[in-house]
């Protein structure tokens, strides 16, 4: 019976290690995926912002060019003013000059707005780029960590899987079925030690009489509260020696 209990607890230790390895693996890939997504989104926003700046710059340049053309026209009209022969021609030219000047005023106003927008877009771009470099750094670190853990895990996992196979052949089908059933229902922990006279799984106090019997290691005892298999310190220590 003692060996039977030791084997069950050893299996539990091995499975707990494998669970832990699985947990580490499960967490980092998720993190790397999330960070990659964030980086991709930010890159997209950066390229959109760059396009926005280009478009604004283009519009501002166009307005600039239009202003130059208008200024040239004004110069031309002003020269023509000296050559006109009728009042009607003079008035027509004056109206042209007025209109061109109004357009220049409007364009000047627009250029100020474009420049303000360009500056804002450039500020946004700068903060996006800063954020991107921080995210990329974090992503690089997490990727490295994951690669390292995966490699370390690989060796450890193989080792524990090998140990598991070796211990499985020593456990009866009935014991294994019981173990798997409890393990599935109780968050991976089917066999637990006694901690301060309580169940190591749910911390329910174990009656003294039961503790005395349990320490004789002659029978499979389960916790009245959670149903996990309870083992004595002796079984715990012996199992740890094996693993
Ligand atoms: Zn319990």
Q: Which residues of 8-45 are buried (b: 16+ CB within 10 A; e: fewer)?
A: bbbbbbbbbbbeebeeebeebeeebeebeebbeebeee
Lowest mean pLDDT among 13-22, 59-68, 224-233: 13-22
The pLDDT value recorded for residue 40 is 97
Domain boundaries, the chain: 18-168, 173-242
Distance 29 CA to ligand 1 centre (A): 33
The pLDDT value recorded for residue 21 is 86
Q: Does 27 score more than 80 pLDDT? A: no
Distance 15 CA to ligand 1 centre (A): 19
Over residues 132-189, the pLDDT tens digits come to 999 999 999 999 988 888 887 888 899 999 999 999 999 999 999 999 999 999 999 9
The pLDDT value recorded for residue 171 is 97
Distance 221 CA to ligand 1 centre (A): 11
**CATH number attached to the domain at 18-168:** 1.10.287.1490
Place of tokens 């030219």: 93
Distance 190 CA to ligand 1 centre (A): 10
Distance 139 CA to ligand 1 centre (A): 41
| Total-model pTM | 0.55
The pLDDT value recorded for residue 224 is 94
The pLDDT value recorded for residue 175 is 96
Q: Tell me if residue 189 falls in helix, strand or coil.
A: coil
Alpha helices of the chain — where are they, by DSSP H? 2-81, 87-168, 173-185, 208-214, 233-242
Distance 176 CA to ligand 1 centre (A): 19
Distance 170 CA to ligand 1 centre (A): 26
């Amino acid at each position: 019976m003692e060996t039977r209990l030791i084997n069950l607890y050893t299996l539990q230790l091995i499975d707990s290690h494998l669970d832990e390895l699985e947990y580490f693996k499960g967490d980092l890939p998720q993190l790397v995926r999330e960070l990659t997504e964030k980086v991709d989104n930010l890159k997209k926003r950066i390229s959109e912002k760059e396009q926005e700046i280009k478009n604004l710059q283009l519009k501002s340049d166009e307005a600039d060019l239009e202003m130059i053309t208008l200024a040239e026209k004004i110069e031309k009209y002003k020269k023509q003013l000296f050559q006109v022969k009728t009042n009607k021609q003079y008035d027509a030219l004056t109206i042209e000059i007025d209109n061109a000047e109004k357009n220049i005023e409007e364009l000047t106003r627009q250029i100020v707005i474009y420049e303000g927008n360009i500056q804002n877009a450039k500020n946004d771009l700068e903060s996006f780029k800063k954020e991107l470099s921080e995210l990329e750094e974090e992503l690089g670190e997490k990727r490295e960590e994951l690669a390292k853990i995966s490699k370390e895990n690989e060796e450890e996992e193989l080792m524990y899987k090998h140990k598991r196979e070796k211990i499985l052949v020593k456990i009866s089908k009935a014991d294994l079925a019981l173990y798997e059933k409890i393990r599935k229902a109780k968050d991976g922990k089917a066999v637990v030690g006694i901690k301060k006279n309580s169940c190591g799984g749910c911390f329910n106090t174990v009656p003294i009489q039961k503790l005395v019997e349990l320490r004789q290691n002659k029978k499979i005892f389960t916790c009245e509260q959670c149903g996990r298999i309870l083992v004595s310190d002796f079984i715990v220590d012996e199992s740890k020696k094996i693993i």
